[in-house]
């Protein structure tokens, strides 16, 4: 398993589809995963340090796990099948529970645990981004513009937009 860093949530244009971008911690590969708006919000909120007045679903899960004396050790992205990512949450006793990748990432950020990825997944879906394109080189103006675009997207999205 390879450790990934969560770069952040982005909006893919022109479709306005949110995605979470992950980066290999000790390498140059990136893993873009298209996700739903609620999961994008959940990931963006925790990365921006936004604490809602009441726990969101991912916060609730982490709170329940901690309340029963357990902890979440890691989130693993274990497979990708036709753009559908499969993940699991691993608990301190080694128990693994299947999860959507977006939910596993949102929980991992709240539980302060690593996000790991199977090498096969990175080989199949990872992309190399040159240093010039690296997300770390995005200046503040571009980052603020992306946040603005994401907020505008969230303001206009309806549940029906995600029906297939």
Domains within the chain, CATH numbers bracketed = 2-162 (3.10.690.10)
The residue ranges of DSSP E strands in the chain, in sequence order, are 2-12, 17-24, 29-34, 72-81, 84-91, 96-100, 115-117, 127-128
Average model confidence (pLDDT) for the chain? Answer: 86
Report the distance separating Cα 96 and Cα 161, nearest Å. Answer: 32
Half-sphere exposure at residue 42, Cβ-oriented, CA atoms within 13 angstroms: 22
The tens-digit pLDDT sequence of the chain (164 residues) is 999 999 999 988 888 899 999 999 999 999 999 999 999 999 999 999 998 899 999 999 999 999 999 999 999 999 999 889 999 999 999 999 999 999 999 999 999 999 999 999 999 999 987 655 444 444 555 556 656 665 665 666 555 554 44
Q: So what's the pLDDT on residue 135?
A: 47
* pLDDT per position as a tens digit, 119-143: 999 999 999 876 554 444 445 555 5
Using CB atoms within 10 Å of the CB of residue 17, give its burial: 0 to 12 exposed, 13 to 18 middle, 19+ buried.
middle
**Per-residue pLDDT at 159:** 57
Q: What is the predicted pLDDT for the residue at 121?
A: 96
Closest CA to 115 of 72, 145, 144: 72
pLDDT at 82: 87
pLDDT at site 153 = 59
29-34 sheet: strands from edge to edge: 96-100, 84-91, 72-81, 115-117, 2-12, 17-24, 29-34, 127-128
Going by DSSP bridges, is the β-strand pair 127-128/29-34 parallel, antiparallel, or unpaired? antiparallel
What pLDDT shows up at residue 7? 95
- State the Cα–Cα distance between residues 147 and 9, nearest whole angstrom: 9
Q: Cα-flanking dihedrals φ and ψ of residue 124, to 5°?
A: -80, -35
Measured in degrees and rounded to the nearest 5, phi and psi for residue 162 equal -105, 5
């Amino acid at each position: 398993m390879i450790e990934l860093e969560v770069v952040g949530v982005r909006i893919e244009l022109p479709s306005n589809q949110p995605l979470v971008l992950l980066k290999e911690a000790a390498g140059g590969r990136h893993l873009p995963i298209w996700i739903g708006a609620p999961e994008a919000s959940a990931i963006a909120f925790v990365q921006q340090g936004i604490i809602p007045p009441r726990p969101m679903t991912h916060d609730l899960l982490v709170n329940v796990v901690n309340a029963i004396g357990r902890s979440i050790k890691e989130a693993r992205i274990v497979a990708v099948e036709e753009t559908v990512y499969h993940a699991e949450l691993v608990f301190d006793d080694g128990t693994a529970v299947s999860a959507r990748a977006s939910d596993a990432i949102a929980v991992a950020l709240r539980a302060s645990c690593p996000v790991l990825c199977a090498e096969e997944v990175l080989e199949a879906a990872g992309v190399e981004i040159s240093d010039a394109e690296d997300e770390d080189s995005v200046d503040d103006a571009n980052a603020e513009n992306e946040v603005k675009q994401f907020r505008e997207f969230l303001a206009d999205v309806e549940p029906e937009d995600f029906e297939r």
